[in-house]
Structures are given as structure tokens and as C-alpha cells.
Amino acid sequence: MFFAIVMSIVCLQRITELMIARRNEKWMRERGAYEVGKEHYPLIVFVHVSFFLSLIAEVMTFEREPAAWWGVVFFLFVVAQAGRVWSILSLGRFWNTKIIILPGAKVVRRGPYKYIRHPNYLNKW
């Protein structure tokens, strides 16, 4: 049951992120933005969806007790999710799931971007 709740929350989070990304993309394109790396985006989506489907398949296929150290991994997952949300909020309208360039836009230097240029890559759990 715990797994189902966590997966439901994560799926809702990802769907919400896609809606935010779509809104942000529209806003940026209205200001002259363009997408790069468009050809690999479907592969990224496929891998992302496949990862979550593999987790669900594993839980449904094997009846196992969680490892004794599952709490540590879950804690790291929660920390990564917090970092992910921090990255999204810090970028505001410039955050997207795609690589979108807005000519003339200043590099964001707040939130985690104050310390590292691409912190969102650290939060890919």
C-alpha cells in the first residue's frame, strides 16, 4: 500500500510538471525561444516512463519484503524530490522538461543555481 501511495504521488507530480513545462514553453516561445535537441526528447520520455513502469512491474511480480535499509533509500528519494522542486521553483517560467533557449535571457543564479549550474540533473530520482 505504501508503494502505491508513493507511486501515485510521484505520477501526479510528473503530470503536474508536464503541465507546468507546457505552460512555460508557450510563454518562452511567445518571447522568441526555440528548442534544441528535439529529436532525443521522445527517447528521454520513453526511458523515464519505462523506469517507473519497471518499478511497478517488479512490485507486482515479486512478493518480497523491503530491504532492511529501505528507509535510507526512501529518505534520499525524498531529499532528491525536494531538490527537484527547489530547482523548478527557482527557475520559474524558465524551467522545462525540454531544452528551450530564450535568447537574451539572463542565467538564473538563485536557489540551487547559485551553487551549481545544472542542479536538476542531481535530482533525477
Block means of pLDDT (10 residues each) for the chain, 125 residues, are: 92 95 98 95 94 93 88 93 93 95 94 84 59
Which value, in Å, is the radius of gyration of the alpha carbons in the chain?
Answer: 17
- Domain coverage including residue 80: 2-62+70-123
This model's pTM is above 0.75: yes
Give the count of domains, the chain: 1
Phi-psi category of residue 32: left, alpha or beta, with phi > 0 → left and psi -120 to 50 → alpha: left
Q: What is the pLDDT of residue 117?
A: 83
Q: What is the pLDDT of residue 120?
A: 63
CA–CA distance, 90 with 58 (Å, rounded to integer): 35
